[in-house]
Chain A
């Protein structure tokens, strides 16, 4: 679990690495509402795996299944070969401590300062360490995400981008092997979003962390993704390297990645034609 042994594969996404997460036939419904319908996918060790899809397609639910937060209605999620929801609670907890999760809105504990939020997982996991050393680690994580100067502020005093970076600092507090990101760039301006993407890439490259990123930001997905899956209505539509998804023959996939309105809604008119003519300027 120490990161010197972890190396990012030479060609991440090539599919020749050992699978870290294996999702097999996962289906979930809440009442009559079918959210996920037979999902199969694998995430290789050391790669950045991006799950894209429109709002409400089940991306976040799938992420919660993968990270041990919510068991699916049927199907199996394996991490490192272990079926996550068949493990006793203590073993699941020890796996959880080796994973980080960056929530969509940060989910920082509001009653604690930023540095206390980041120090919390380490203080709980390694009570034998001195408080000074734990604070030193937390400061270093904050420096990695560029938030050191805001360490004593309350989470409620942070801007959206700062909250996201603080959440990332907390997610990597225990040097995890695997980090999940729920909409890391949602609600951020393009420059801050690019900075968050850059941070994710840097952490993946240097620590060799496996990352699973859920996003509906297509630009960001193609920037950071080694492999990706496109979800529509709870099903995987396209699955593979970014190039494969980009060239996927299905019209809905093409519409989504080119941010076009579905053809029937656009009434046969491609909006980019308008833009090219300057009609919508």
Chain B
């Protein structure tokens, strides 16, 4: 059988390669036993043209076609001397298709890993804190104070603003329902109870997760990719005691403090709405508020806030410390820290309220 000859024109480069590629494809695909590529006319040649020849050789190898190259000039041979065509057209194992179970696992496992890493880190932080006096892992007071200031004091303006607006909204929604029963005065009860029990700790924790959880993951993640954490360890400074414990203690303290602020400002907002729109007597509003406030509600709210703060710090630190993949990984860890923290906050809140009946 005579081989099919494909004559390559003078110009063989990335602007003229496509029609030649189609002809080559057709010749190889039609299963000719031999294809001859005649390069003797070629004057202009570039790496796209070279890639086309490599691709033809690869296809030919697969279909069992013989490819002959004819009239190769010295410079073209020189270009080919830069690469090993045998290495280029070698069969590579295709990526294995994942089964259903594996795909589900790939989706779920990272979440479980975050939970596991955070729990382990929390346990190590508690150990460092409790056994510190014996193991020499000193508790860093000044670093903790700095963290409290960063996560707590600096968050006061935004927490106050959101608390005030939320207080107004809650009072408004309560009033819309309560006026049906001519029970407008109970707006005060409604605001006080819902804020201290649930909305205060929850909203504060979500704000802390967004502000500090992301910052913690970003800061520690950056330190990891800059080898700063390794440097600490090498200098004999325990990263858990130096980095994690101060942040965990700081958030465990700062979140309930911010919650107190949130509760107070939200009730002020509610009262402002009650007094100005619903026209409740300020004295009566305050009295109703006092009546409905229970120390147990406030305490359970603050307890939850403290747990939420610890969760946020554990998750942020764990994601930061396990960062992979350079600066890109830091970005991913930061986002995941916020999402995972908020998820964990809601799950723990549900456990507290429904299973443990905290505050009921």
Contact = CB atoms under 8 A, between A and B. Distances in A.
Contact of B17 (A111, A129, A175): A129
Interface string A128-158: 1110110011011101100010000011110
A236 B296 CA distance: 79
A110 B82 contact: no
Nearest to B326: A156
Interface stretch (A2-10, A65-73, A223-231): A2-10
A206 interface: yes
Contact of B83 (A3, A126, A144, A155): A144
A202 interface: yes
B15 to A, nearest CB: 8
Given A3-B46, A129-B18, A136 B54 contact: yes
Contacts of B42: 4
Most buried by A among B43, B44, B51: B51
B329 interface: yes
A20 to B, nearest CB: 19
B54 A140 contact: yes
Interface string B69-81: 0000001101101
A122 interface: yes
Contacts of B75: 4
B13 A2 contact: yes
A204 to B, nearest CB: 12
B111 interface: no
A111 B82 CA distance: 29
A141 B47 contact: yes
Contact of B81 (A111, A139, A140, A206): A206
Contacts of B18: 128-130
Contacts of A2: 11, 13, 44-46
B43 A4 contact: yes
B44 A206 contact: no
A148 B47 contact: no
Contacts of A128: 18
Contacts, number: 81
Given A137-B48, A141-B47, A148-B88, A156 B54 contact: no
A156 B15 CA distance: 34
Given A136-B52, A156-B325, A156-B329, A130 B21 contact: yes
Contacts of B83: 140, 143-144
B320 to A, nearest CB: 16
B157 to A, nearest CB: 35
B322 to A, nearest CB: 15
A146 to B, nearest CB: 10
B79 A129 contact: no
A110 B54 contact: no
Nearest to B79: A206
Contacts of A126: 14-15, 48
Contacts of B43: 4
Contacts of A110: 325-328
Nearest to B50: A140
Contacts of B44: 2, 4-5
A3 B14 CA distance: 12
A261 B18 CA distance: 59
Contact of A133 (B21, B84, B88): B21
Given A126-B14, A129-B18, A206 B47 contact: no
A4 B54 CA distance: 19
A129 B82 contact: no
Contacts of B14: 122, 126, 129
B339 interface: no
Contacts of B11: 2
A140 B76 CA distance: 14
Contacts of A136: 51-52, 54-55
Given A156-B326, A202-B82, A206-B81, A148 B46 contact: no
Nearest to A6: B75
A133 B48 contact: yes
Contacts of B21: 130, 133
B78 A140 contact: no
B87 interface: yes
A266 to B, nearest CB: 32
Contact of B48 (A5, A122, A154, A203): A122
A158 to B, nearest CB: 10
A54 B328 CA distance: 32
Interface in A1-51: 2-5
Interface in B313-337: 325-329
Nearest to A3: B46
A139 B325 contact: no
Contacts of B79: 206-207
A57 to B, nearest CB: 27
Nearest to A5: B44
A262 B115 CA distance: 58
Interface of A: 2-5, 110-111, 122, 126, 128-130, 132-133, 136-137, 139-141, 143-144, 148, 154-157, 175, 202-203, 206-207
29 contacts: A2-B11, A3-B46, A4-B43, A5-B44, A110-B327, A111-B328, A126-B15, A129-B14, A130-B18, A130-B21, A133-B48, A133-B51, A136-B51, A136-B52, A136-B54, A136-B55, A139-B88, A140-B50, A141-B47, A143-B87, A144-B82, A144-B83, A148-B88, A156-B328, A156-B329, A175-B46, A202-B82, A206-B78, A206-B81
